[in-house]
Each structure stands twice: as C-alpha cells, then as structure tokens.
Structure 1
C-alpha cells in the first residue's frame, strides 16, 4: 500500500484575517507591525481587519536608542535606531539624518536638539516630518555651546507658547554654565531670550534639565534644583522667574564615583537618578540609586541674592527639601539621559521588568570632547545597558565610538 502523501505545507495566507490580527496585536513594536504588512496580501488584510470587540489600545512606544551607523546610507544618515520593544534590535531600514550633528536633547514626537560644530548652529529638528526650528540664531555662536535642552510642550505651527531652555557653556569656561530660554519659532528674537545664571554658591555644575509643573528644573551636581519658570512680560516679551530650591545633604556618605545625575518626571513627581561606577570615572556603570523629593516643614520665607558676576537675581527658599531613596522602582521603567529622560509603567508592557535603561553619555562637562579638535572628539558607546534587580545587562548592540555625538534617546 502506497504511503499517504505528506500534508501540504501550511501558509500564513491560509489563516483567517482575524487570526492574523490577533498575532499582530501582540507585536509590541509599531515598526515591526508596520513591516509585517509588507510581507504579503494576507498580512495587509490582517492589519486592516476591524475586530468586533475592540482590543485595549497599545501602549506608547518606548524610546529608541540612536547608535552611530557603521556606514552612512545613501541619504547621508549616520545614526541607526535600536528598539527596546523589538528586543533591543537595530531597525536597519530606519536611519536618522542629518549627519555630523551632536544631539543634546529630545522631546516626544521625534524632536531632536542638534548642534552642528562646523557652522556653529543649533537646531530643533523633527526627524519624522523634517520641520526645523533655529535655536537662538545670533545668540549661540562659536563661543557658546548648548549641553542639554528641554521643551515646555510640543512645537506647533503658529503657537508661541512653546518655550525651550538649554544649559549653555562657554568654550573659555565650560564649568560656568548659564541657562537660556526662548520661544520656539519666535520670529522676533529681541526680548524672546532670557539669560539665567545658576552660580549661587550651592552647586556650580548643572547636570540635567527637565520641564515639570510649568517650570524648567535644573539639577546641580550637589543635588540642588534651580527652578526657572517662563513668564510673559507686560509688553508680551518672554521673561523668567528663578528660584533656588536647596536640598539637605545626605547623612550617608557614599565613596563610590558618581558618573551622572538625572532628573525624571514619574507619576507626577520629580525623581533624581544617580549613576555609579566603581571608584574610578572610566569604569563601566555598576549601580543606580533613585530618590524622590521630601519636603521639609521649615520657614517658607525667601531671600533674594544678587549675583554680580552673573548679573542674575535669585529667590532662595529657606524651606529646605531632601532626597529620600526608593527601596524599589515600584514597577517603573526609567530611561535616563541628559535632556531626554522618561518614565514608563512596566505593567503596560507584557514581558518587561522594572529597570533603568541608560546611555554612555560620559562627563557632562568634558571640554576635550565638546570643544576639542576632530582628532580629540571621541564619544564612546560601550557603556549602554539596563540595570535591573541589582545587575547591569548589556542588552544593546555594541557600537564603535562616534566623533560627533554621544548617544541619545529618540522619543517617537
């Protein structure tokens, strides 16, 4: 008796559209879902399928890590996209232009702050739509360079309410920063710029900036916060109210080397994330600590300090705050980077664990890198990873150093 012929191989095209839709609905990365539509007609039909019972909306995309591409693509793009939702794989078909720029911040909606050293220009670019805003033309030149920046809201055409703020350093004194605020897209720059000094004696170096509760918050190396609140003057120009928010020093001495400090807005409050390396600055990251703000019930009176050297006037609160260390991340996924930190809830992403994703952003005030010659500027990309359950995991692809930019999170 002849053997029965083998069954015909199954094909995805033989499955019903609603079954394929169920598969697509469980693919967390939107780029992977879009690519699946290109496979064949059956997948395209599944993507267009309208189920009777609407599934819950998918969570927003997690930040993408921008890595230097080994070779520029035909359009000149020099950065590849590494996706956490896709298992920290590189989306090789995606690349980010323009080339040769240093990233110094990002915002939701695929906005990047870029500095072009050759032309001494600073731009705010939407890598998805190509929209470009100039950052303070005629103000930032060869002597001033933006180190990190943040936006108050999404830039919208014809909306002058969007304000940007940047930590700015001078090539001749990189550790004496100032802060510049300006209206994004403002046609009239006279009066749209407000320079704010931050050297008031309680912490010289400013390490990070974030927008929270209608004000920009700047974290100093000593753990204090400078609050800069944009205001509108009587003549319609941009102004700023400034206040120093001092924090009590920690009673616990930690002798490990602090690689970086970040501010993150999470669940409506500010968190400070501290990144450690063992003893020496060039060692890889080995631990993180996360702190939340605790208010002290002291006098709420304020004093004004005139800083003659900077020309700034600050309201210094007598009410001191303190940082309280969190025992756990409490179900958070934190993505930390200067000017681009974000917080996500892990229960919205099945299969993920609470942890801290970090970048090899190095010394914030490394003058040799930021201001050095082309042969000196080297941004390493080896210390990227995830810290979870007390351990560091090198989950991202290893990349060669870059000669123009440190890594940054792109917020799709």
Structure 2
C-alpha cells in the first residue's frame, strides 16, 4: 500500500507538482520538497516556478538543559513547528548576541565553559560556516605613556556593510570588566581582534539601548529615548577618529508614562524612516513578560532644547516588524505576506544583566511571540523552551 502511494506521488503531473511547491511558504520545506524524488526534481527544474518572496527571519532557540539541541522556527511554517539546527560542537553552548543578513550569526564562545569571564567573539555564516574574528579586548589607557588591554563582552553589534566586503566597520555595545560592569559604545574594523583606543572613552555619556546603521551613519538609542548619530568613523591601527558634530545629539520631547514597566526599546528602519518600538510589561516587579508593544515615528518638534518628538502610530499599516537589539528588521504584508502584520519579538531579557562577572546566568527562552495591533494582545506562538544556561534566543536573517 505504501509503495502504491509513493508511486502515485512520483507520477503527479508537472503542473500539480508546481502548484504544491508554490503553496509551501517555508524556504526549508521548499528545499525538502525538491528532494522528494527524481520526478519532482525534474518537474521543478522544467517548470521554473516563480521565485517566492524573501523569507522572514527564523527564531533560533539555543541548547537547553543539555538535552534540547538548537532548533529554529519559521514564522511561515505554522509557528510552533521547528527544524533541527546544526552548529559546530564548540558553538552549541555559545552566547548569541545578534545577526546580519545572509544567515550571519554573532556569537561568543565561553572559553572556560561556564566561567563567563573569557569569551571568544565570532561572526559565523550558517550556510558556509565561514567565520570572522571579532575583538575580545579593548585597548584602554593605563598610564600616560602606556596602554593596556581589558577584556570585553559584546552585547550587540551593527555593520556598515556586508562582513566580507572591504572597509566594513562595526559599531558595538560592549561591556567592560569593571566593578560594577560598565557598558560603552565601541567601533572597530571587521577582523580586528582588539578594539582600538577611543579618544572619548565614555562616548556617549548616556546608557545606550539599541543601535543600527543607515544612510552612512550609526544611530544609537539612549535610555532617555534620544538619538545619538555618528558618521562612519575613521579607524586607524591604534585609535578611532570619531566624526562628531554639534548635531550628533537629537533630543526628543519626553513621552508621557502610563505606569507600565519598559522591558526594552528598539530601533527599526522602515519605509525610509526610523521607528521606535517599546516593549512593555505589567507594573508588577515579579512579572517580566511582555504584555504590549507601542510603535512610534519621529516627528519634527521645536521647543526649547527639543527638536523632535516620538509620535505614536495609529496603526502598523501592513508593517511586519521583527525586533531585537542590533538586528531589527521591517517587512511588508504587500510583498507576499498577507495577514502577517504585527510586532514579532524574542526573549532578550537576560541580555540586560551583567555578562563579564561570574558564571553565566540562566536565560529564559519562553517570552517569544507576536503582538498584534488589531487584537491588542500577545500571541506566544513560538515553541516553548526550557531555560538555557548559555544564551537567549536570536533572529536568523536569511
């Protein structure tokens, strides 16, 4: 019976195979469909089906409890379905801290396996397994005539261009091994193993929540929801020359508060504009799960020292927003994703705790999902995963 059914699938008309393939939204499932049998491969090669829309990001869930291997979930496959995910053994217990287009993953390998004080930072391509070294230390002044190195942990990063392209500059939010730990902004060239000395060790003076690169400049979001702009810096062998001017700080009129706890703030480039996405929790201190998201656009506002304001969007208007520190992306329903409008988020709460002091913290990996403006509710549609000892989840951007 099984043999008869198999033969029937292999003998489907070419047009039927084409229609089946066209209705498979997930890129991985389409790849598997093309390998069902020789007749399907021949049919798909002959019919040359139309190119599907670019895939949406995948949610990579890290290894948990030594039992669950890394897996990824495709939004288009039905939310809770997962695919097995292969990583080199040395990277399975790595800390993920972002991604870049083309399935590039930022990760920090715990060299001492649990100590949390010595990490090897890498950027790895999950298709080719090509990797690029990232800095593990920063050059800091100790004496007037000498300089020393200090270990760092990279919290988030943004690139000026693809990592294999000549002249790629990286901006990162880094944590220095101070007590208490201090977070700073740093710049380096792709492939550098040491962050060069910065002329302003504490620029910007405010705590930075998120960063992105757009139109020739790096943009940083401060905890006060102001914007710091830094044109792509000149990086020399031993120091960084920042290109700052009086317009580098954009002050926004403070938004009113409504009593809810802010869990995160993200910058997203969408439709030639930069949006602010705010992640909110209930005011109770023991409840750290997201309950609502709000999306704002930048509007001109001139009053006193303020030149801009964050204006709440009345609706997402077909936007599909994936938010994560340094790796937020915007897509459009009109590009082949009907019914997908919303804000998709991952559980990055643990990334806000200190990294370089003591053993790694356990990372909760369950507060992942979608917030819909239409329903005004959170849908935790992704698979649940036990706490991870190494990393929060991360988006993989095809």
Q: Does the TM-score normalized on the shorter chain lie above 0.5? A: yes
Alignment partner of 2:250 out of 245, 253, 260? 245
Counterparts of 2:391 and 2:10, CA distance in 1? 45
Q: Tell me, in whole angstroms, the C-alpha distance in 2 between the residues paired with 1:409 and 1:177.
A: 23
Distance 1:290 1:112 in 2: 26
Instruction: Determine whether 1:384 maps to 2:371.
Output: no
Per the alignment, residue 60 of structure 2 pairs with 66
1:101: which partner in 2?
A: 94
In the alignment, the residues of structure 1 paired with residue 96 and residue 235 of structure 2 have an alpha-carbon distance, to the nearest angstrom, of 32
CA–CA distance in structure 2, aligned partners of residues 386 and 197 of structure 1? 36
Give 1:178's match in structure 2, choosing from 179, 184, 194. Answer: 184
Aligned CA distance change for structure 1 residues 329 and 340 (closer, same or farther; 3 Å): same
Q: Which residue of 163, 167, 174 corresponds with 2:169?
A: 163
Q: Which residue of 2 aligns with 1:208?
A: 210
Aligned counterparts of 2:356 and 2:204: Cα–Cα separation in 1: 22
Aligned to 1:279: 283
- Selected match of 1:85 from 76, 80, 83: 76
Match of 1:23? 20
| Separation (CA, whole Å) in 2 of partners of 1:234 and 1:341 | 29
Structure 1 position 13 matched with structure 2 position 10: yes
- 1:310 is aligned to none
Identify if the C-alpha distance between structure 1 residues 285 and 343 changes in structure 2 by more than 3 Å, giving closer, same or farther: same
Output the TM-score relative to the length of structure 1: 0.81
Please say if residues 176 and 199 of structure 1, whose CA atoms lie closer than 8 Å, have aligned partners that are also in contact: no
More relative contact order in 1 or in 2 (CA 8 Å, sep 6+)?
Answer: 2
Contact map agreement 1:120 1:142 (CA 8 A) in 2? no
Higher share in helix:
2
Whether 2:138 is the aligned partner of 1:139: answer yes
1:353 maps to: 340
Instruction: Mark the CA change 1:235 to 1:110 in structure 2 (over 3 Å): closer, same or farther.
Output: closer
Across the aligned residues of Structure 1 and Structure 2, the Cα RMSD in angstroms comes to 2.9
Equivalent of 2:298, from 293, 299, 316? Answer: 293
177 and 244 in structure 1: CA distance in 2 versus 1, 3 angstrom threshold:
farther
State how far apart, in whole Å, the 2-side matches of 1:116 and 1:191 are: 22
Distance 1:105 1:193, change over 3 A: farther
- SS of residue matched to 1:32: helix
Equivalence map 1:263-342=2 (5 Å): 263-283=267-287, 284-297=289-302, 320-342=307-329
Structure 1 residue 298, shift from structure 2 partner = 6.6
Aligned residue pairs total: 371
Matched residue SS, 1:23: helix
Q: TM-score, normalised by structure 2?
A: 0.84
Task: Give CA-to-partner distance per residue, 1:220-258, whole Å, 9 cap, x none.
Answer: 1110111122133799985322322211112x3321111
Once the two structures are TM-superposed, the CA of residue 218 in structure 1 deviates from its matched residue by 1.1
Stretch deviating more after TM superposition (230-239 or 99-108) = 230-239
Distance 1:71 1:403 in 2: 7
- 1:43 Cα offset (Å): 2.0
Aligned to 1:34: 31
SS of aligned partner of 1:197: coil
Q: Which structure 2 residues correspond to residues 210-225 of structure 1 after superposition, within 5 A? A: 210-225=212-227
The answer to whether the 8 A contact 1:186-1:192 is kept is no
Residue of structure 2 equivalent to 1:150: 158
Tell me, in whole angstroms, the C-alpha distance in 2 between the residues paired with 1:236 and 1:146.
19
Most deviating of 229-238 and 271-280: 229-238
**Contact 1:175–1:205, Cα closer than 8 Å, also in 2:** no
**2:345·2:368 contact (CA, 8 Å) conserved in 1?**
yes
Q: 1:182, 1:193 within 8 Å by CA — same for their partners in 2?
A: no
CA contact (8 A) 1:181 1:194 kept: no
